[in-house]
Every structure is written in structure tokens, then in C-alpha cells.
Structure 1
Amino acid sequence: MSVNVRIPTILRTYTGDQSKVSAEGTTLNEVIDSLESDYPGIKSRVVDEQGAVRRFVNIYVAEEDVRFASGLDTPTPEGTQISIIPAVAGG
């Protein structure tokens, strides 16, 4: 299943400066593995050593925050848009 993934500026060095890429997978975890296969190094910027989405990274599958869905097991139907968004903090 092919999905579209929006890549934030900070991670575009991994994707050859592409803001949107395609990936394969029926779950978010599979999509991230597909991204890692095509763009080595990107997974470690999104997923921590314990295999969870990094604290300061937000991922949306079809506009739903995966933290409130099934996390990395969130289904990713064909054609779904996935957005990786770094959290912004400030004061």
C-alpha cells in the first residue's frame, strides 16, 4: 500500500530536499521502515531507541495524531497522507 509522507524541513537532508515522498506499508511502523529503506537514517530521527515516536515529534495519519490512535500500529490505508511534524516549543 502506497502512502504519501510530508517531510519537515529539518528532515529533508535525508530525502534529497523533497518535502513529500511515497512509502509502502499497511501500518505506520511499516511506513517508517519503508522510509528508512529508501532514506537511511531518517527512522532514528522519528523513533527512539525503545521503538516509540520521539517525544518532540508529532505524526499524523489522515489528520489524526497517532498518539491518540494506535501509535506505530496505526493503520495506513492506500493513499493516506502522513505528516511528520517536529514539536515547537518556546517561551
Structure 2
Amino acid sequence: MSVSVRIPTILRTYTGGDSEVSAEGANLAEVLDDLDGRFAGIKGRIVDENGKLRRFVNVYVGNDDVRFLDDLATPTPDGIQVSVIPAVAGGC
């Protein structure tokens, strides 16, 4: 399954500045593995050392937050867009 992955500005150093790249995988874990195979180190910025999504990174498959779906096992149908979005924190 081929999907497009939107890359946030902070991770574009891994993709040579590309804001969107394609990846292969039947689920999110496979997509991240494919990305890491082509852009070494990017997966480590999205997934922690325990294999879980990092706390301050949100990932969407289509319009749905994967934390409310099947997390890394969330299916990635052909042609869908995956968005990696760093969480923004702050306040007064």
C-alpha cells in the first residue's frame, strides 16, 4: 500500500527538506519502518525506545488520530495521507 506522509518542519532535515514523501505499508508501523529505511533516524523521532508513539507527537491516518484507533497497528489503505504533527504546548 502506498501512502503519502506529511512531514513537519522539524523533521524535514531527515527528508532533504521534503514536506511530503511517499511510503509503503499496510499499517502505520510498516509505514514508519519504510520511512526509516529511506530516511534513517526519522522513526526514532516519532516512536520511543519502547516502540510506542512519542508523547508529544500526534499521528493521523486520514483525519483520525491513531491513538483513538489501533495506534501503530492502524491500517493505512492505499492512497491515504498520514500526517505527523508535533504537539504544541504552552500557555500563560
Q: How many residues align?
A: 91
Give the alignment's TM-score, normalised by structure 1: 0.99
Question: Alpha-carbon deviations, 1:17-70, whole Å to 9, x = none?
Answer: 000000000000000000000000000000001100000000000110000000
Q: For residue 83 of structure 1, report the CA deviation from its aligned partner.
A: 0.2
Q: Which runs of 5+ in 1 are unaligned?
A: none
Helix, strand or coil at the partner of 1:23: strand
Match of 1:46 in 2: 46
Partners of 1:80 and 1:52 in 2: CA distance: 22
Q: Which runs of 4+ in 1 moved over 6 A?
A: none
User: Distance between the aligned counterparts of 1:44 and 1:4, measured in 2?
Assistant: 19
Alignment identity in percent?
66
TM normalised by structure 2 equals: 0.98
In the other structure, the counterpart of 1:56 is 56
Q: Residue type matched to 1:51 in 2?
A: G
Deviation at 1:90, TM superposition (A): 0.5
Code of the aligned partner of 2:81: Q
For structure 2, the residue ranges without an aligned partner over 5 or more in a row are: none
The amino acid that maps onto 1:16 is: G
Quick one: distance in 1 between partners of 2:80 and 2:28?
Answer: 11
> CA–CA distance in 2 between the matches of 1:44 and 1:63?
23
